[in-house]
Every structure is written in structure tokens, then in C-alpha cells.
Amino acid sequence: MSESTATTTTEGTTARSTGASRAAEAGGVPIVLDGVTKKYPGTDSAAVDDIHLDIAPGNIVMLVGPSGCGKTTTMRMINRLIEPTSGRILIDGEDVLSLNDVKLRRTIGYVIQQIGLFPHLTIEQNVAMVPNLVGWDKKRTASRVEELLGVVGLDPGEFAHRYPRQLSGGQQQRVGVARALAADPPIMLMDEPFGAVDPITRTKLQDEFLDLQRRLRKTIVFVTHDFDEAVKMGDMIAVLDKGSRIAQYASPEEILTSPADEFVTGFVGHGATLKRLQLERLDSIELKPASTAPPGVEPLPDRSTLHDVLDAMIADGQDAIPVTRDGEVVGTVTLVDLLDRVKELRAEADAKAGTTSPDSRPGPTPGTTADVDLAAGTGAEDQR
């Protein structure tokens, strides 16, 4: 675990080089859960039963599973809000159980669904709490608060001296994220952070957070019960069953294409093919010349996902959509190209999964439900 300190430094450099954040941001550090168990007295089965999890630095790991599966308990043991009954938790190679729990938590960002801002303190004071706890001087704290409010999209001049109740839910959670990031912790724990806001705000917060994370490269443990959110946000997903049994720990692509067992399949739910499209960016497709685009169709930016493209095609009733890069139209994406790409993805997935399913089967047509079969190599019987 200690060898990864080198990674941390390089990631820190990447963060600085974007120029978007003035302060040097520390990248993430690895987390290892080693046989961690939590058993509450008077209960027969453990809430968390012997979980082993290796979390690479700079990754977002999604803990996803049905309610009561122990995902939140697992997360809360990392910053010792809940003390494990047995097992070891190593952060950057150091056993957290050997550290002072209060001081440990100051080095770990913490964001929860109910936000939990301090209502009697201003936004500025809320965000400054951890820097104050770790003893930053006033000037450094003040400039950090100002910077962070900007980073999470709140104008410091307008918001710094307001109180939490004067903000909307979405704005409050931005402050919640800023508070967690304040003292630049290498690790963040997030418990359904965007679960309580409306769907539009949620999508926006997710997108912005992903942008932010691309720069910060924190190690993030993110709890959700929403598989779609897990697919969207995660570098890795741990699908958890009762007692935090890890049903599968893999990349979103792999879980969508080859779910490990019935439980994962059930959890992935219907429409795995479509979900898979959310992971693929438009720039993975070779574009047709811009001139072939039908007139009067709203263009999409090249950062869009294939899911967005398909959605727009269906919505507009078009089989070709112009694509823009930095506002300039650079080409056209067609439905045929999109389907070809889906076929490629399936072939890659099959090759990876080592299955023998034929590559020749037709790609899924939009509107039909290919579902999990894209992956599993179970054949294409249910193509209609």
C-alpha cells in the first residue's frame, strides 16, 4: 500500500496543471478493507460480514445494494463512526483503528444525504469548520472557503454570509460538498449525497461532481441504492448483498456486460444494454462529415454519451444528428454507426468474458429490450 504514495504525488500535479484550482490539491490514497466485520450485540447475523475490498487511489468506488445490505455501515466503519467488531481498515497503509478517531475524521471528507449543515452558522463558517479544527490560520481558511464556494458553483460574494435555511436543497448540498473538501482530504465518504434533491438537480450535481473529481482524483467511497447512479459515477462498483457480501466488484462495464450471478443480474435490472450506452462517449464513434446532417436538428456536444445520442434520435425522429466540439459543428453521427459501435462493444465484452457466443448476432435495435443479454453471452434469443 505504501508504494502508492508515488501515485498520489503525480495525481496532485495533474490537479494543479488544470489551473482551475489554485491550491494544491492532494490526490487520493488507497483504502483496504481486510476482513472487516460488524456484529451488533444481540443479533444473530453480522451487519457486515468479513468484507474484503481493495480501493485504488483516485477511484470512485460505488457501494450499491438493497437497503439493509450493510453498505452504509461498511462506509461508516472507514472513518470509524462505527467501530468494526473485527478486521483491519488500512488507509494509505495505516490501520485506522490505531489512530485517534476524531483526528482521523478530519482527514476524511464526509457527505450525507441529509446534508447536515450547521443551521446556526453561515455558509462560510460551515465550510471553514474543518480548516479551523485542523488549525489553519484565518487568512488561509478564508481564501480556501472562497475558492471552494467557487469550485462548487456558488458565488462567494452572494452566499458566504447566508445561512443554510436560505439556500435550496441543491445549493445546500453544494455547500455540503465544499465543507467536506475544505481541508483537502485525500478520501471522501459519500452516503447517497444526491439522493434528496430533485432529478434535474441530481443530474446536474452528479455531472459537476464528476468534473470536479476528474481534477481532484480523491479516493471516494460512494454509497447508493440507485444502480444507474452507480454506473454513472463509479470507476468501480461493489454490488453488495445482505451482510455486505460482495456479489461482484468490478468496473461498471464489466458488471453490465457480465454480471457475476443471479443477484447481480437482478440488481442491474432491465435495460442493461441501454445503461451500457451511458458509459460510452460519442467521441468513440467515427463521425460522418458535417454536411450530411439533416437541417434543423439540434446538435449535441461530442462529450455526450451514446445514450444521450440515442435519446435525441428517438426524441427528434432523426437517424442522424450533428455533433459539436467547443460550439463548432464537427460532424454527424448516424444511427447505423451507433449500432455498429454497440456491436463492437458486445464483441469486446464477449471476448473479455471468454464466452463462445457468436459475434454475428444482430445488434440491439433501439426500442427492443436486449437487456442483460448483451453481456452475459446468453445468446440473443430474445431479440424481437
Partner 1 sequence: MYGLPFPEYLSAFREDLIGGFQRHMLLSVYVLVIATIVGVVLGMLVYRNKLASAAAIGSLAVWFTIPSIALFGIFVPIFGFGLGTGVPVITVYGLLPVLRNTIVGLNSVDAPTLDAARGIGMGRFRILWQIELPLAWPVILAGVRVSGQLIVGLVAIGAYVGVTGLGEQLFNALVNLGSVNTFNQALAGTLLVAVIALLLDAVFVLVRRFSTPKGIRV
Residue with Cβ nearer partner 1 (40 or 118): 118
Instruction: Return the closest-CA partner of residue 164 out of 127, 139, 206, 208.
Output: 127
Residue of 20, 32, 104, 347 interacting with partner 1 (CB under 8 A):
104
Type of residue found at 44: D
Kindly identify the residues of this chain, within the stretch 167-186, that bind partner 1 according to CB under 8 A: 176, 179-180
Quick one: which segment of 114-122, 141-149, 208-216, 265-273 binds partner 1 (CB under 8 A)?
114-122
Site string for partner 1, 128-157 (x = CB under 8 A): -xx--x------------------------
Quick one: which segment of 142-150, 158-166, 245-253, 376-384 binds partner 1 (CB under 8 A)?
158-166
- 110 near partner 1 (CB under 8 A): yes
SS3 14: helix
- Residue indicated by cell numbers 485504488: 56
Rounded to whole angstroms, how far apart are CA atoms 73 and 68?
9
Sequential DSSP letters for 157-182: HHHTTS-GGGS-HHHHHHHHHHHHHT
What φ, ψ does residue 342 adopt, rounded to 5°? -60, -40
Residue of 63, 117, 282, 338 interacting with partner 1 (CB under 8 A):
117
β-strand partners of 334: 320
Residue of 4, 37, 122, 251 interacting with partner 1 (CB under 8 A):
122
CA distances from 150 to 112, 145, 175, 215, 282 (A): 21, 9, 10, 15, 29
Residue of 29, 33, 77, 112 interacting with partner 1 (CB under 8 A):
112
Residue with Cβ nearer partner 1 (182 or 272): 182
| CA neighbours closer than 13 Å in the CB half-sphere of residue 64 | 29
Rounded to whole angstroms, how far apart are CA atoms 259 and 64?
14
Shortest spacing between CB 107 and partner 1, in angstroms: 8
SS3 55: strand
Shortest spacing between CB 131 and partner 1, in angstroms: 11
- 114 near partner 1 (CB under 8 A): yes
Rounded to whole angstroms, how far apart are CA atoms 1 and 54?
10
- 79 near partner 1 (CB under 8 A): yes
- 98 near partner 1 (CB under 8 A): no
Residue with Cβ nearer partner 1 (106 or 225): 106
- 324 near partner 1 (CB under 8 A): no
Residue of 33, 91, 188, 189 interacting with partner 1 (CB under 8 A):
189
Residue of 1, 20, 81, 380 interacting with partner 1 (CB under 8 A):
81
Dihedral sign, CA of 301, 152, 31, 111? negative
- 54 contact partners, CB below 8 Å, separation of at least 6: 30, 32, 33
Residue of 47, 115, 205, 246 interacting with partner 1 (CB under 8 A):
115
Shortest spacing between CB 262 and partner 1, in angstroms: 35
Residue with Cβ nearer partner 1 (221 or 345): 221
Type of residue found at 223: V
Residue with Cβ nearer partner 1 (135 or 289): 135
With contact defined as beta carbons under 8 Å apart, do 376 and 259 qualify?
Answer: yes
What is the binding site for partner 1 (CB under 8 A)?
79, 81, 102-110, 112, 114-122, 129-130, 133, 163-165, 176, 179-180, 189
